[in-house]
Chain A
Amino acid sequence: MAGSLIKIDEEIVSSAVASVSLTGIDSTYDVYLLIMNNVSPANDNKDLYMQYIKASDSSTDSTANYDYATKGLLTSLSFQNNANTNQTQFTLQYARGSATNEQDNNLLYLFNTYSSAEYSFYTLEGSGLNFAGGLGSEQGGGAHSVAQSNSGVKFTWESGGNFASGTFTLYGLKK
C-alpha cells in the first residue's frame, strides 16, 4: 500500500560517534520499522548493541531485562545459536569488521515499544561481513521484559567503540 511507511527519524553518521539514538516513538503507530544501512565500527571485532530509551525521562534503560534469541547463519560455520536472558542490552550482531565493505545491514520491526502495559519486542533480519571478511547473517528477535513506555532506541558498540559509518532510519507503520 502506498504511503504506509512514515519516516519518523533518520541519523547519518558522518564523523565518529559512540552512540546513535533514534527517537520519536509514541502512540501514533503500533509497529515501527528501523532500517540500518552500511553500519560499521571504527575498530575491528565489535558486537552491536541496542537499548531502549525510556519515555518517562529520555534516559537509556540499562537494567538487566533484555532477553534475545537469534541464529547466526555464517559462511565460516553452518550456524550459531545466540541466546541470552537478563542482559543489560540486546546484542544484534557479532564481531563486525571495520575494513572496507565490512558493513552491517539490519531490518528491525519494533512492537509495543511505547506501550506502558506490555513488554517491548523486536524482530531482526540482518546481514553483514564480520571482521574476518566472512558473511554473518543474524536472524531472530528479543523482548524487553518490563512493561514500560519507551520513546526510542540507542545503538552502541561493544567496549564503547565508535561508529565509523551508518544510516539509521525509523519509520512508523501506518495503522
Chain B
Amino acid sequence: MATKEELQTQADAEIEAAKPLYALVNNERREFTDAEYAQAKVDLGNNKWNEQQFGYIEARQEAYGSIGDQLDMQYKDLVDGTTVWKDHIAKVKSDNPKPA
C-alpha cells in the first residue's frame, strides 16, 4: 500500500512525462501555465489516493451484479442447497479488498 507521499511522487512524474498539456479557455488552446501544471499534479495525486483507498467500493458494486441476478442466485441456492451466491459475494470481496 503506497503512502500519500509516494502516490504524489508518482503523480508528479506522470504529469512531467505528459508535458506539454493544453487547456481550452476562451476559445484558445494554450499550454498549461506553471500554476496549472502544479494543480494538475496535486489533483492527480489526490485522485490516486482516493482510488487506492476507496476504489474498491465502485469495483465491488459493479462486480456484485444486479439485485435481480443476486436474488435469482439466492433462490436457486435455496432450492438446490448450493452456496453460489455466498461464494460469489466472497469472491467479489476478496478480488477487491478493502485497504488495511
Q: Which residues of A contact B (CB under 8 A)?
A: 9-21, 23, 59-60, 62, 64, 77-78, 80-82, 84, 87-89, 94, 156, 158-160, 162-163
Asked if A62 and B39 make an inter-chain contact with CB atoms under 8 angstroms apart, the answer reads yes
Which one, B25, B39, B50, B54, contacts A21 given CB within 8 A?
A: B25
Residues of A within 8 A of B96 (CB): none
Residues of B within 8 A of A163 (CB): 24
Asked if B67 and A19 make an inter-chain contact with CB atoms under 8 angstroms apart, the answer reads no
**C-beta contact mask, B6-28 vs A, less than 8 Å → 1, else 0?**
00000000110010011111110
Q: Which residues of B contact A (CB under 8 A)?
A: 14-15, 18, 21-27, 29, 32, 35-36, 39-40, 42-44, 46-47, 50, 54, 58, 61-62, 65-68
Given known contacts A11-B24, A88-B43, is B67 in contact with A160 (CB within 8 Å)?
no
Which one, B18, B24, B61, contacts A17 given CB within 8 A?
A: B24
Residue of A whose beta carbon sits closest to that of B66: A78
Which one, A19, A81, A158, contacts B24 given CB within 8 A?
A: A19
Asked if A62 and B43 make an inter-chain contact with CB atoms under 8 angstroms apart, the answer reads yes
Asked if B21 and A77 make an inter-chain contact with CB atoms under 8 angstroms apart, the answer reads no
